[in-house]
Each structure stands twice: as C-alpha cells, then as structure tokens.
A and B are shown apart, each in its own frame.
Chain A
Amino acid sequence: MRVLLRSARPYGEEPVDVALENGVIAAMAAPGTLPAGDLDVDATGLVLLPGLVDLHTHLREPGREDAETIETGTRAAALGGFTAVHAMANTQPVADTAGVVEMVWRRGVEAGHCDVHPVGAVTVGLAGEHLAELGAMADSAARVRVFSDDGICVSDPVIMRRALEYVKAFDGVIAQHAQEPRLTQGAQMNEGALSGVLGLAGWPAVAEEAIIARDVLLAAHVGSRVHICHLSTAGSVDIVRYAKSRGIDVTAEVTPHHLILTEDLAGTYDPVYKVNPPLRTETDVMAVREGLADGTIDAVATDHAPHAHEDKDCEWAAGAFGMLGLETALSVVVDTMVSHGRLDWRGVADRMSERPARIGRLADQGRPIAVGEPASLVLVDPGASWTVDPGRLASRSRNTPFAGRALPARVVATFLRGRPTVLDGVIA
C-alpha cells in the first residue's frame, strides 16, 4: 500500500508531500508534485513527527486484564501517537523470564497497533534479591534491552551494581525506579507542608534523589549506563545535570503528569491523583520542565498505569498508585513545553521519539523523517483543542487525572512502518 501525506509539515517546518511505501518513506517532495497513493491524507497544517516511543508503559497483561490488556493499551498508545512502547515488567507473573517477555512481545505483534518491547525484570519476582535471567531475556525473540523492577526500587546497592555490570554484555540498561524504601514506608504523597496538614505520610524528595545520586556514581564506577525512571524533583534534575557534566552515562525521563500537576491535588483526597512518585510542588514542576528543555532530561515517558475502577473509587490510602498517560502525553507536552516556547517540534521529536528509541536501543524507531527511513510517523493537529472524557479513552481503565480538562493538540494519524494504525483520530 502506498500512502500519500499531502502538505505535511515535518517537525512543524515547511510543508511537503510525503509518500510511504513498503514500510519506508519512499519520497518527499514539494506539495502537489507526488502522484496519488492508495490512501491520500490531507495533512495541510498538520505537524509530522517520527512515531512516539514510550519508555514506560504498564500494559497489565498478563495478570490484570481487568485494568488493561495489550490490545487496549496499544490502541491507547497508537491514538496517543506512539509507534513503540516499553511494557513494564510488574505483571502477574512478573516478566522475569524469556517465556513471559516473549509472550508479551508476541501479543504486541498480534495486536499490531504499535511495537511492544517488553522490559525485563532486574530481579526474580521483583524481589530485589536474585538477578533474573537478564541474558536469556536479551537473547529471546523479544530482544530485551531495558531492564527494570519498576514499581519497586532496586535498593540493594550490591544488586544494583551487579545488574549495571551484567547488562554491559548485551548493551542493556537498568531503568531505576528511584525510591529509597525505608524513607518512604507507607508514603502517600509528597512530603512537605501540605502532607503535614493533610495527615498523609510523606514521600520525601530525598528518597528519590539519594538513589539517583548513588546510582549515577555506581554507573560511573562500573562503566555502565543507567536510566532514571519518572524523575520528579528539582534536586533530581540537579543531580542528573551534574552527572552528565561529569560524563556519566545517565539518561532520565519525566512523566507528563509531573510536567503539569502539583501536589495540591492531594487535598481532594481523590486517589485519581495518587501516583508514585507523587505529584510534587510548583518548584519541582518548573525544574523538570527546565530539565526537559535543556536536555538534562532525555525523554518524556508516560508511566501509563491503568487501574480498575474499584482501586481508585475509594479513600486515598486504599487507592492504587498510578495514572493513565498514553492518550494525553503529547497534548500535555504541547501545553507545558511547546506552547511556552520551551521546546519546538524538533525538540518534541527528540524527547518523545528519538532519544527514547536510542535509550531502548530500538534501531527502527525514532528515526529522521527522510527518504529511506522507516515510515513510523505521527501527524498532529497543533491547533486543535479537546476535552478529556475518560469514557471515550481507548484504555480499559478510566483513571486519567485530566478528566474534563481542555488540552491542546490532537493526534490525527499514526503510521507504523507505512501502515496506518490511526486515521482521523480513530483506530484504523
């Protein structure tokens, strides 16, 4: 099938016609100069970006198919403009063997909405005690390169050191959920003046920052690379900036919700705002935006965390941690970064596609928009505005913190190796 995108603006720049054929970008030329395709898309005014890559997605399958499945989660991903997601390992059973990661990978291929790259657990059962068979997962059909106990911190410094060393053999990376467990026992929200007033146990910034500081030093010591999941505090940005200035091979991600929401929402005691790491202060929000703008933070990653209704329709302490993110991520980035001039569309492509693809070692994602490159692309209407309706999201769960909120920019179409996965804003 040959697809013609008429008058698309790559990276928001000058309009061109873009022809997609045989999975690659077959031609790019001045508007009106390329022959029609089997499918013609009028992309006038739309921004063309490389397909987005999420380093941090909870698809919940296997184990919690009531909250999300690989089918529903990847539909949500495609609608959000993603052509690849990294499926976190904290499923039931845990993705800590070649068997489980291959199953997840295959289900992703079958669903066909975007590439699904399983993340392998660092330790058996996420228990933090014994290394999982990282090599077997790397060598499996799923070709795992990102390993994480996400949800739980690899807190034992010796296990972390060994994991960092071990994955060097296959160019893997450890993605750390940075949370010192003893400092966050029973933690419910960001620790500060507000947690004291609300009587909710605090999750102090230092519990994140102390682990990041330790892990960048460990990565430097053993000559490996480390990736920091969902960095959320101003202090964490400083530490990563310092580590990068010292040449340490560290990368970091921030979630859309940490770019836009603050801890004040805990005052509603509505667990839809309960997330781990917690929403932080305005100062932290401004610092992570700054860090994302200057490249200290490499990527926006959704930490898309679907939860069944009953796990959120309860009192705060009983509520599960996590928020939906795939279908709102790009809009939040436009709202917080593009609209305010902190990032241009090249910057969005870099932080939401190119760098996350590099961190995950995905050879055919996050590529330049150029002839001969893979035709995994997204068309965005930058001027659109839409109101988030939880009932109309593709995710099986409804726990978006943006219900009723108007957000800018809308994904119009997504292409995975030349094949439309989303057209006119709906699953193709």
Chain B
Amino acid sequence: MRHLLSTSDLTRDEALLILDTAAELGRVTDRAVKKLPTLRGRTVVNLFFEDSTRTRISFEAAAKRLSADVITFSAKGSSVSKGESLKDTALTLEAMGADAVVVRHHASGAPYRLAHSGWVGCSVVNAGDGTHEHPTQALLDAFTLREHLRELEGRRVVIVGDVLHSRVARSNVALLSTLGAQVTLVAPPTLLPVGVDTWPCAVSYDLDAALEGADAVMMLRVQNERMNAAYFPSTHEYSRRYGLDTRRAALLADGAIVLHPGPMNRGMEISADVADGPRSVIVEQVTNGVSVRMAVLYLVLGARAEDSAGEASAAEAVSA
C-alpha cells in the first residue's frame, strides 16, 4: 500500500490487514511503553489546509508512537493560510525529506492530485478531502464496530444525516460494504447526492424503520448553515425527523452501538442523553483513531522500506 486516498481503493484483505494491524499496535500501546521504534528516522508531515484539531492530534500521536519525526503545517499561522498553493507547499515538504504526507484539504481530490501529479514522491495519506473521503475515519469506525460486533459480515449499519456533504459517509459506505456489512443511509432527500441509488447501500427517508433491529447507527454532523441553503426548513424539524433520541435508540438491536465522527451538535442530530448513554462509543472512537492511524502509517511506510527487513510484520516490528 503506497498511499491511502480512498476506502474504495481497498480490497477486503487490505482493509482487514489495516484493522488487524491496528489491533496489534493498539494492544502494545495499551501497555506501559507507548512508543515503538518502528518508524525511527522517518519523517511524517501533517499538512492541514483545513482546521481539524482532533484529526491532526490523532495523526501526530500515531506518528510519534511509531517514533517518526513529525512536522505539522496547519492552516493557521503558516504560508498555507496565506494562499500558497498545494503544489508549492508539497514541493517544500519534499525538500524537507518527507516520507509520508498526511493531508487534509478543503478541495475534493487534493490528496489524489498530490499522489498522482508527480509533484512529490512520498506516500500520501488522505486525512479528509472536501466532500470526498475521510478513509482513516471510516477505518476507525470499522475498527470500533468490529470490537463490539466482532464480525461485520451481514451486520446492519445505519448512517444518518448530511450524506451529501459528508466525506465520512462516502468512506464508510465503501469500506463497510467491502467488509460485508449492510449499510442503510437515512437523510432528507435534499441531503443525499444525485446517483446515491448506485452506491453499494440502501437508502431510506424513514429513520424509525431503518433503526429497527439495526446493529449500529452512525450520526453525521449537520451544520446549521444548511438550513439557510434550503436543505431543510428548521433545526427543529430536522432533529424531529432525523435526530437520534432515547426513543429511537431503543429501536436498535440489543448490543447495538451509536457512533459519531464528531464534533457533535448535541440537540441537533443527537440528543445529549444518547451521546452520553450506554450505547455510545464516541469516546472509544477517538482512542481507536490513534491505533488505526498508526497502522496506516506503518503500512504505507513499511511497504516502501527497501532495507533487508522487507515485509516485516507489525508484530515483528513491535518486538524489535
């Protein structure tokens, strides 16, 4: 795996390898020693054209736990915010000897462009691009689902909210369907993209019906501004029709879990008691995010290792 740009690029085996590697790395870092020497001497650059504290911190923690050198460029207070182009920034990073660049960008396809334009030779990891994809979020969601449901094959996962503008939804639909889950998207028709009927999932406008007996529900953030662009009439109507409250959460199967990629709009798409309730795994998602990102960095950089260690497994790397 040279780059991680989209979950739709992942085969089932590749996806499982990432998740298994994450589990392995997670177990090790649960122990007292939080740091592994695996990526010593490698440089990981976090290039954040869009502010996202939680994703940036998660990637930083992942890279540091693998002993990589980490450089972070964030939108605020750098040339990035002064309109320097993606290309120029990329060339700077290349000159600094980056082995992998983790990129968050407001333009869909920016990581793909970075990986395919010939501007840089390093590995590219998509940390969220526009309204396209957010593959590591989907991987950490799948990881979390697996921890609770064990097997994803045949499990029913409902994803609710602003699918149209959601990179999380796109990445999850592709990944979860690859892993054999049955995904149902629920949203007002205005917040579903044209052509969603061709996606590998079901679509419903009826949240109650979709939740009945489901194994997991993932609530997407809905921005209040969408109301002004006539996607829905009012936040009140939105939360009444598409919000997750205690009554609705009770429709889920026993042992079902509630996910949210954050940041949450409590009272809008999810009520506070559900967000903090027993089915909620929202805090675990954050922890799992670090393990999954460690696995991704390990695999994209490990795959490029040209030393004799070659295809060392994560376990070997861990024991080294």
Q: Do they bind each other?
A: yes
Residues of A within 8 A of B (CB): 188, 191-202, 204, 268-270, 310, 313-318
* A-chain residues with CB within 8 Å of residue B198 when the two chains form the complex: 193
B interface, size bucket:
20 to 34
* B-chain residues with CB within 8 Å of residue A269 when the two chains form the complex: 108-110, 112-113, 116
Asked, given contacts A192-B194, A193-B198, whether A268 binds B116 with beta carbons under 8 Å apart, the answer is yes
Contact A316 B107 (CB under 8 A): yes
* A-chain residues with CB within 8 Å of residue B167 when the two chains form the complex: 199
Minimum CB–CB distance for B188 against chain A, Å: 16
Contact A196 B195 (CB under 8 A): yes
Which of B94-102, B128-136, B292-300 has 4 or more CB atoms under 8 Å from chain A? B128-136
* A-chain residues with CB within 8 Å of residue B106 when the two chains form the complex: 317
Asked, given contacts A196-B193, A314-B87, whether A270 binds B132 with beta carbons under 8 Å apart, the answer is no
* B-chain residues with CB within 8 Å of residue A315 when the two chains form the complex: 86, 105, 107, 109-110, 113
The one of A195, A199, A200, A317 in contact with B195, judged by C-beta atoms closer than 8 angstroms, is A195
Residues 52-110 (chain B) with a chain A CB within 8 angstroms: 85-87, 105-110
Minimum CB–CB distance for A308 against chain B, Å: 13
Contact A199 B129 (CB under 8 A): yes
5 interchain residue pairs of minimum CB distance: A193-B195, A199-B132, A269-B109, A196-B193, A317-B107
* A-chain residues with CB within 8 Å of residue B108 when the two chains form the complex: 188, 198-200, 269, 316-317
Q: Is B196 an interface residue (CB 8 A)?
A: yes
Asked, given contacts A314-B87, A315-B86, A317-B130, whether A196 binds B109 with beta carbons under 8 Å apart, the answer is no
Asked, given contacts A313-B87, A315-B113, whether A191 binds B170 with beta carbons under 8 Å apart, the answer is no
Residues 110-125 (chain B) with a chain A CB within 8 angstroms: 110, 112-113, 116-117
Contact B113 A270 (CB under 8 A): yes
* A-chain residues with CB within 8 Å of residue B116 when the two chains form the complex: 268-270
Minimum CB–CB distance for A184 against chain B, Å: 13
CA distance in complex: A199, B195 (Å): 12
Task: Show 10 residue pairs from A and B whose CB-CB distance is below 8 angstroms, ordered by the A residue.
Answer: A191-B194, A194-B195, A196-B194, A196-B196, A197-B8, A204-B194, A270-B117, A313-B87, A313-B117, A317-B130
Minimum CB–CB distance for A250 against chain B, Å: 28
| Extra inter-chain contacts (13) besides given A314-B87, A315-B113, CB under 8 Å | A194-B195, A195-B195, A196-B194, A198-B108, A199-B133, A202-B194, A269-B112, A270-B113, A314-B85, A315-B109, A316-B113, A317-B108, A317-B110
Minimum CB–CB distance for A206 against chain B, Å: 11
Q: Which residue of chain B is the closest to A199 with respect to CB atoms?
A: B132
* B-chain residues with CB within 8 Å of residue A199 when the two chains form the complex: 108-109, 129-133, 167, 170
* B-chain residues with CB within 8 Å of residue A197 when the two chains form the complex: 8, 170, 195, 199
* B-chain residues with CB within 8 Å of residue A270 when the two chains form the complex: 113, 116-117
The one of B105, B132, B199 in contact with A198, judged by C-beta atoms closer than 8 angstroms, is B132
CA distance in complex: A270, B133 (Å): 17
* A-chain residues with CB within 8 Å of residue B113 when the two chains form the complex: 269-270, 314-316
* A-chain residues with CB within 8 Å of residue B194 when the two chains form the complex: 191-193, 195-196, 202, 204
CA distance in complex: A268, B118 (Å): 13
* B-chain residues with CB within 8 Å of residue A196 when the two chains form the complex: 193-196, 199
* B-chain residues with CB within 8 Å of residue A317 when the two chains form the complex: 106-110, 130
Most buried by B among A194, A197, A201: A197
Minimum CB–CB distance for B114 against chain A, Å: 8
Contact B132 A318 (CB under 8 A): no
The one of A204, A313, A316 in contact with B109, judged by C-beta atoms closer than 8 angstroms, is A316
Contact B86 A198 (CB under 8 A): no
Minimum CB–CB distance for A310 against chain B, Å: 7
* A-chain residues with CB within 8 Å of residue B130 when the two chains form the complex: 199-200, 317
Minimum CB–CB distance for A46 against chain B, Å: 40
Minimum CB–CB distance for B309 against chain A, Å: 34
Q: Which residue of chain B is the closest to A193 with respect to CB atoms?
A: B195
CA distance in complex: A195, B113 (Å): 16
Contact B170 A318 (CB under 8 A): no
CA distance in complex: A361, B13 (Å): 65
CA distance in complex: A200, B107 (Å): 9
Contact B109 A200 (CB under 8 A): yes
CA distance in complex: A201, B195 (Å): 13
* A-chain residues with CB within 8 Å of residue B8 when the two chains form the complex: 197
Minimum CB–CB distance for A316 against chain B, Å: 5
* B-chain residues with CB within 8 Å of residue A193 when the two chains form the complex: 194-195, 198
Minimum CB–CB distance for A167 against chain B, Å: 36
CA distance in complex: A188, B131 (Å): 12
CA distance in complex: A269, B130 (Å): 13
Minimum CB–CB distance for B221 against chain A, Å: 16
Minimum CB–CB distance for A117 against chain B, Å: 37
Minimum CB–CB distance for B304 against chain A, Å: 23
Minimum CB–CB distance for A86 against chain B, Å: 33
CA distance in complex: A317, B129 (Å): 11
Minimum CB–CB distance for A199 against chain B, Å: 3
* A-chain residues with CB within 8 Å of residue B196 when the two chains form the complex: 196
Most buried by A among B106, B132, B167, B194: B194
CA distance in complex: A201, B107 (Å): 10
* A-chain residues with CB within 8 Å of residue B117 when the two chains form the complex: 270, 313
CA distance in complex: A202, B106 (Å): 16
CA distance in complex: A268, B117 (Å): 10
CA distance in complex: A202, B194 (Å): 9
Most buried by A among B113, B132, B133: B113
* B-chain residues with CB within 8 Å of residue A318 when the two chains form the complex: 85-86, 107
* A-chain residues with CB within 8 Å of residue B86 when the two chains form the complex: 314-315, 318
1/0 per position for B194-230, CB-CB distance to A under 8 A? 1110110000000000000000000000000000000
Minimum CB–CB distance for B81 against chain A, Å: 15
Residues 262-317 (chain B) with a chain A CB within 8 angstroms: none
CA distance in complex: A196, B8 (Å): 14
* B-chain residues with CB within 8 Å of residue A191 when the two chains form the complex: 194
